[in-house]
Chains A and B, each alone.
Chain A
Amino acid sequence: MTEMRIFLSQVIAILWKDIRYELRSKQTWLGMGMFALLVLVIFNFTFDLRVDNVSAVAPGVLWIAFIFASLLGLGRTLAAEREQSSMDRLLLCPVNRKAIYLAKLLGNLLFIGVVEIVALPVYALLFNVPLPAALLLIVLLGTLGIATIGTLFSVMAAATRARELLLPILVFPLIVPVVISVIQATQQLMVPTVNEPPWIGLLIAFDIIFLSISMLTFQYVIEE
């Protein structure tokens, strides 16, 4: 029980450090948010959106914007550590490696979540689609799936040259199942059809699988 408390306090301490750092610089939030909005606007030009095809195209547009913006933010998971070269100090702390991962994951989830909360109304406005409450659940689950894998691999890629280049190449193939299920679930929400697999259930299953693999393997990624 006390172990659990210590673990949680470690997670919160690292998370709070990242949040304060981000609140001071505001680089990641602003960058990701503007990027997501720009993607939404660019899609307006690339697709000829009419009333009859908006339900087929809009979920894809939303998720392309979210995934690309998430990758932009995920690439900065260790930005603070890299810029201040404080990674060694973080690793020297008597902190469970899983706590570092969980804190970084929650931080990413929070940063991406804020961007999504801003981008969702804009999306509804630009594409003239309704915004049901269940969409928030799908967005949360989808973001969790992207962030679990993304956090693990952004820490991996941080050690390489050309990390901005490598991160999308590593992350995109792995998040394919999450991408398929979120887009299908979003489409289901707009145009319900029968005999569809339970996409939200699958999404939860994928999130659990990805979270457990990442938790188990994270220590090998940052071990020195």
Chain B
Amino acid sequence: MALTKQATSIVSSAEEHTNDVDRESPARLPIAASLILGGLSCIGMLASIWLIFFYTPIDALQGVTQRIFYFHVPTAWVGMSAFVVMTIAGIIYLIKPDERLDWIARASGEIGAVFLTFLLITGSLWGKPIWGAWWVWDPKLTAALILWFMFIGYLMLRSYMGRTAESARIGAVWSVVGVIDVPIIYFSVLWWRGQHPGPQITSDGGLPPAAVLTLMVSLATFTLLYCFLMVLVYQLQRLQTQAQRLRAIVEFE
């Protein structure tokens, strides 16, 4: 009974998205785009690893530990951008329901969760030798941790609800509330206490030029990597939705 109901809702959600063009045509994977993006991010990653380990000067105070910074900052940038992409796709979805937007949101959510996990791990690895603790309850750390919980909550919500239009709408609302909440959490913890190092790139040159170059290359590489993964996971979302829909139709008939 419950299965039939779910099948009906999936079929009806398929009918709801009438402006979907990909559904009827057989799956055509964007091999060229993923090859170019994948190749570029591979080259970029090799270049940034060389820059990080051989080119940049060793930090006077923190020693080699500081080099994790060149991985830490880009993962933070990608993780937060992924949440913003997810929210923007969600807002547009609420205005104009199109399941391709939902695939973008969901793909961004999955990738963002991975990058944010790396952010928390690299931060802890840096924090142990420098601060003497794996974790401190500083505003940026707390906000990042809560953001991680939001990504995981989003993914759980989506996987528990199945691929329906309702699930997409609720996911979009969740990301809108989350995106407003993260700055509030940051400031509320800031008023409570603080410890994280401030912004490193200032106008009077906090970082030497070599380090700035490395950081920029690393940032660009991680952004490319994000785009590459987005193309792949988007396709995965599309194919999973199609597979589930076909299964539902077979069971329904």
> Which B residue sits closest to A178, measured CB to CB?
B188
Indicate whether A177 sits within 8 Å of B184 (C-beta atoms), given known contacts A159-B166, A213-B176, A220-B173.
Answer: yes
- Give the residues in chain B near A159, CB-CB below 8 Å: 161, 166-167, 170
A206 proximal to B (CB < 8 A):
yes
Cα of A157 to Cα of B184 in the assembled complex, Å:
23
- Which A residues lie within 8 Å of B54 (CB)? none
Q: Which of A174, A209, A214 has the most CB of B within 10 A?
A: A174
Q: Which residue of B lies closest to A223 (CB)?
A: B169
Are A221 and B156 touching (Cβ within 8 A)?
Answer: no
Chain B contact residues (Cβ within 8 angstroms of A): what range? 20 to 34
Taking the complex as formed, is A162 at the interface, i.e. its CB lies under 8 A from any CB of chain B?
A: yes
Contact B156 A166 (CB under 8 A): yes
Q: Can you report 7 residue pairs joining A to B where beta carbons are below 8 Å apart?
A: A159-B161, A173-B150, A174-B178, A176-B181, A177-B184, A177-B188, A209-B184
Residues of B within 8 A of A221 (CB): 169-170, 173
Least CB distance from A213 to B in Å reads: 6
Given A172-B149, A174-B177, 17 new contacts (CB under 8 A): A149-B177, A152-B177, A156-B157, A162-B160, A166-B160, A169-B153, A170-B157, A173-B149, A174-B150, A176-B146, A176-B185, A176-B189, A209-B184, A213-B177, A217-B177, A220-B169, A220-B170
Q: Mark B122-153, 1 if CB is under 8 A from A, else 0.
A: 00000000000000000000100010011011
A174 contacts B166, C-beta separation under 8 Å: no
Given contacts A159-B170, A170-B153, A176-B146, A202 and B191 within 8 Å (CB-CB): yes
Contacts of A55 in B (CB 8 A): none
Asked if A202 and B157 sit within 8 Å, CB to CB, the answer is no
Q: Determine the chain B residues whose CB is within 8 A of the CB of A181 once the complex forms.
A: 188
Chain A 175-212 near chain B by CB (<8 Å), digits 1 or 0 = 01100110010000000000001000010001001000
Pairwise interchain contact B174-A170, C-beta atoms closer than 8 A: yes
Q: Within the complex, what minimum Cβ distance (angstroms) separates B8 from chain A?
A: 14
Residue from B152, B160, B189 in contact with A160 in the complex, judged by beta carbons closer than 8 Å: B160
Cβ-defined contact, A180 with B192, below 8 A: yes
User: Taking the complex as formed, is B94 at the interface, i.e. its CB lies under 8 A from any CB of chain A?
Assistant: yes
Partner of B181, one of A160, A177, A217: A177
CB-defined contacts of B166 to chain A, threshold 8 Å: 159
- Across the interface, A206 reaches (CB within 8 A) one of B94, B157, B177, B184, namely B184
Chain B residues closer than 8 Å to A180, beta-carbon distance: 188-189, 192
Chain A residues at the B interface, C-beta cutoff of 8 Å: 149, 152-153, 156-157, 159-162, 166, 169-170, 172-174, 176-177, 180-181, 184, 197, 202, 206, 209, 213-214, 217, 220-221, 223
Assembly CA distance A180 to B146 (angstroms): 13
Q: Evaluate whether A217 and B173 lie within 8 angstroms (CB atoms) in the complex, with A162-B160, A173-B150, A176-B146 already known.
A: yes
Which residues of A lie under 8 Å from residue B32 when comparing CB positions? Answer: none
Report chain A residues within 8 Å CB of B188.
176-177, 180-181, 202, 206
Q: Which residues of B have CB within 8 Å of A166?
A: 153, 156-157, 160
Contact of A184 among B180, B181, B184, B192 (CB under 8 A): B192
- What distance in Å separates the Cβ of A54 from its nearest Cβ neighbour in chain B? 21
Q: How far is the CA of A169 from the CA of B142 in the complex (A)?
A: 16
Q: Using Cβ atoms and an 8 Å threshold, which residues of chain A touch B142? A: 176
Chain B minimum-CB-distance residue to A162: B160
Q: Separation in Å of the A103 CB from the closest CB of chain B?
A: 19
Q: Which residues of A contact B173 (CB under 8 A)?
A: 152, 156, 217, 220-221
| Ranked 3 nearest A-B pairs via Cβ | A177-B188, A173-B149, A197-B191
Query: What CA separation (Å) do A157 and B152 show in the bound complex?
Result: 15
CB of B163 to closest CB in A, whole Å? 13
